[in-house]
Structure 1
């Protein structure tokens, strides 16, 4: 798996004057993660990982990686539209409870079988804002309808918190590294924060509806998730060859296109998923905050993408409320305003558990091996909010 932390500068781009895609400079060597030994693979968590330097190749067995290793599993899988079938070695279909299956093409079946086997840029505006802009969200006559629609949709587009149980070769630590890498790619190609949030949602939903994906295929899944999210959200998404390049050509164009095809089928082409970022911007349009608080809330929201537990147990709207409250408390010792209480129906008591988890994550961010989000928010563009020290305790019992 390959990482890049190169940043690229570019001129401000407006929607009215969109230039041709700009190819990314490729002068620096991309980072390669080594292969995890079998013992380390079963025992290591993300918190025991090592810091990866920006210009080094790591090939020892002490680091997490998703490069292909022989599979001990004798099962292959086929998934279609959130339904799961595990194929036994004899070829007999074993259907999980509460699942129904409609087979598609032989090519799709073959590709998903390969996925569970060991085989085988444009510059964007400096304004990192979702296409669902504040100008749209703050229109009073639509705000409540938008909020109700997002709250309904977030339930239908949630991943399953315990989905890694169906993927014995993938650990939580591997997912943390993959999300950290996606953050670096988003930064490198100057993509929007909403693109990152969508990509992580797609990744988690795909893995929720599949089984037995091999560690050597995890980066392919993540890259496809980001490519689809960029096509959905960006004005000028990076070209296919740029996504191949981000993996240091670990995967071919053909593999990535096939992965995209299956990915969309598994998610039933339901790509309009409400994200933490969307809810956060909606909340800040209803009750505006200062620029420092706004960027700090966005930083906290992105940190939550790293952790499945406990944040997949909360809805995106509740995580957004927790990020809003934590940022407001850190900056000016306020919490959940009455206006948002009335608008969302959430009370401070309901938000406290998620806010407490976010506070612990915020405090531990500096000592974690994956630093892409923290480095991003150290820049002047985000007012260096990741350098703000959080209070040791919140104003209620943790």
Structure 2
């Protein structure tokens, strides 16, 4: 499917509570329960340190004068749609988003006709990291409807890996959300790795995050704070503090920024769990889904009177739909 596109961070919000400072990162006692398989505090500290290591910044647009925020939104929306077509996990889609944003921070003066190649390559890399059976290279080329050849994807893969210095393991927004959801619902600390949270509630929160990450201003916030802010729209702050250790002051700006997106999500049909072929019922909430996020984004922007660079239906009308599952190559 060919797609046309038209026209620094710290973890200071995590409150110190009887914990020393690690690599410049003040942290509270971890939210993990005591675990037999690892040191709970060590796992927590490593997660927090990744917020410092994996830097994202919406300022990358200043390095690319030919690009606009709506172009990123269109690309990420398309990647979410492709992810559902190929039954990819949410973590895969969010890894691709992270790779794209961090790669663009290393580049200058990128042309808009390169974005689809960069996006599909980011998803190609993410799939090989996260999926047990990732789609083949020719399937990623196929879904671009001839816009990106296999050889071009392989060449871009090498460019991206070098630019990212092979730093490919961030804690994504979805990683943080799953942690918060699991801690909130935890009844048996021994089985911490076994999901115990409500799938239905989880997909409501993921729909909010899917919409919010399309907005370039989401890059103003650390992934852990984005996930906590979304969580705060479904649970009380006391719960959010319990599962994240974050203070209200540290998440309040993000909660307020996310409010128009929450109003839009609330006005739309409620997210429903989908059944996917060869996906078990206890894993289906982890599969990335897609709705008309670009229209929803336009609505959310209309709820922000001071928003810059609004999206409109006219601006996003050039996108083609990915092939349905029945239209994919038979050897997938």
TM-score (normalised: structure 1): 0.56
SS in 2 for 1:336: helix
1:289-331 C-alpha deviation (Å, 9 max, x unpaired): 543322212222222220111x211110111111111122xxx
The correspondence for 2:228, drawn from 310, 318, 321, is 321
Q: What does residue 341 of structure 1 align with?
A: 241
Give RMSD over aligned pairs: 2.8
d(CA) in 2 for partners of 1:239 and 1:291?
Answer: 29
> Offset of 1:144 from its aligned partner?
3.5
User: Would you say the 8 A contact 2:208–2:262 is kept in 1?
Assistant: yes
Deviations 1:345-388 (A, max 9, x none): 31233222212222211223589xxxxxx89944545899x9xx
Q: Which residue of 2 aligns with 1:153?
A: 50
Task: Give the C-alpha shift of residue 343 in structure 1.
Answer: 5.7
Q: 5+ residue gaps in structure 2?
A: 8-31, 186-196, 276-283, 292-332
Q: Which residue of the partner structure matches residue 359 of structure 1?
A: 259
Matched, 1:297 2:205: yes
The equivalent residue for 2:35 is: 140
Counterparts of 1:358 and 1:336, CA distance in 2: 19
More helix per residue: 2
Q: Is residue 241 from structure 1 mapped to residue 148 from structure 2 by the alignment?
A: no
* Residues 184 and 243 in structure 2, CA contact (< 8 A), matched pair in contact too: no
1:208 aligns with 2:105: yes
Cα offset, 1:218, TM superposition: 0.7
1:231-310, aligned counterparts within 5 Å? 231-288=128-185, 289-309=197-217
8 Å contact from structure 1 (residues 197, 305) kept in 2: no
2:226 touches 2:254 (CA, 8 Å); kept in 1? yes
Q: Is the 8 A contact 2:207 2:265 kept in 1?
A: no
SS in 1 for 2:237: coil
2:203–2:272 CA contact under 8 A, matched in 1: no
CA shift for structure 1 position 251: 1.7
The structure number with the bigger radius of gyration is 1
Deviation, structure 1 residue 139: 6.4
Residues 200, 272 of structure 2: 8 Å contact kept: no
Residue 83 (structure 2) pairs with residue 175 (structure 1): no
* Larger relative contact order, structure 1 or 2 (CA cutoff 8 Å, min sep 6): 2
- Choose which of 96, 121, 124 in structure 2 pairs with 1:227: 124
Runs of 4+ more than 6 Å apart: none
Q: Judging changes above 3 Å, is the alpha-carbon distance between structure 1 residues 226 and 139 closer, same or farther for their aligned structure 2 residues?
A: farther
Query: Measured at CA, do residues 365 and 166 of structure 1 come closer, stay the same or move farther in structure 2, by a change above 3 Å?
Result: farther
Residue matched to 1:111:
none
**Aligned partners of 1:345 and 1:379: how far apart in 2?**
30
- 1:117-160: per-residue Cα shift (whole Å, max 9, x none)? xxxxxxxxxxxxxxxxxxxx876354443222111012211212
Equivalent residue number for residue 63 of structure 2:
166
Change (3 A) 1:251 1:163: same
Change in Cα spacing, 1:287 to 1:231, as seen in structure 2 (3 Å) is same
CA contact (8 A) 1:325 1:336 kept: no
Contact 2:208 2:265 in 1 (8 A): no
Q: Secondary structure at the match of 2:214?
A: coil
